[in-house]
Structure 1
Amino acid sequence: MTDSPRRVLVVCTGNSCRSVMAEALINNLGKGRYQAFSAGSRPLGRTNPGAIETIRRHGFDPGEPVSQSWNEYADQPFDYVITVCDSAAAETCPLFPGQFERKHWSTPDPSHVEGTEAEIEAAFDQAFGMLRERVETELL
């Protein structure tokens, strides 16, 4: 048996919001048992400030997420590759070496919600809560 953390890649199209929140949740809740990264098929090149604020508001360390292409990880092995948006789940991912389990955690995108500040914050909290529940029930 190895003490190495299980490696997880969380994929979303833009890699700016949901995948960033999931990455932080896995790294924080996994307590060293998991090492999560996030990437996108068409990364925006910036993280969504609302995602970072939500992670912090819930008492977690967001780390230093970067919006980057999934091609950055094409030659690295993972235990899990998790898609968090439906469009990324339908795309053909790069080939990652080794055996890994695919998971799809369909999560609404809070970055496209319009409304009051409270409504937008509620949308981010809802997405964060959905992702946290998936992490806690499917990984931990």
Structure 2
Amino acid sequence: MKKTVAFVCTGNSCRSQMAEGFMKYYGSELFESFSAGTHPEEEINPNAILVMKEAGIDISMQYPKLLKDIPDKLDVLITMGCNVECPYIPCRLREDWGLDDPKGKPIEEFRKTRDIIEEKVKELILKVKNNEI
């Protein structure tokens, strides 16, 4: 049975969308993945779509979602460093990745954030494969 994971940030337009895209790409056999925002933007940031496309992953069909749009009980909840208090969502594991939002910054910052998220998603997948979650 797949585990559920949700990636949550403020706007659900950059970091959490990239994380959802990487998890769907690398971990779809282990996880059902979601993303949401405490205050979702209207659309995914075009630079997030661009840098993910550079990594070979198309997130252009994803869209910002509210917290109410994801399951109310999860195996894993990852917050991105929202700088706001994320609401309580029952889960077995909760981590905060503490990533700065690249919104409004040069494309290089989006790439750096993307690369960090990719490594963290791979680490999370490894935890499941090693039965740590």
Aligned 8 A contact 2:49 2:60 in 1: no
Question: Deviation at 1:95?
Answer: 3.6
> If the length of structure 1 is used for normalisation, what is the TM-score?
0.81
Question: Deviation at 1:94?
Answer: 4.2
Question: Deviation at 1:11?
Answer: 0.2
Aligned 8 A contact 1:45 1:68 in 2: no
Divergent runs of 4+, >2 A: none
Secondary structure of the residue aligned to 1:135 is helix
Alpha-carbon distance in structure 2 between the residues aligned to 1:134 and 1:72: 24
> If the length of structure 2 is used for normalisation, what is the TM-score?
0.85
Contiguous gaps of at least 5 residues in structure 2: 127-133
Question: Deviation at 1:127?
Answer: 0.1
Cα distance per residue 1:21-62 (max 9 Å; x no partner): 000011101142112110001111211111111111111232
1:29 and 2:21 correspond:
no
Partner of 2:98: 106
Larger Rg: 1
Contiguous gaps of at least 5 residues in structure 1: 114-119
Alpha-carbon distance in structure 1 between the residues aligned to 2:73 and 2:58: 25
Q: Tell me the percent identity.
A: 29
CA RMSD of aligned residues (A): 1.7
Question: Deviation at 1:86?
Answer: 3.6
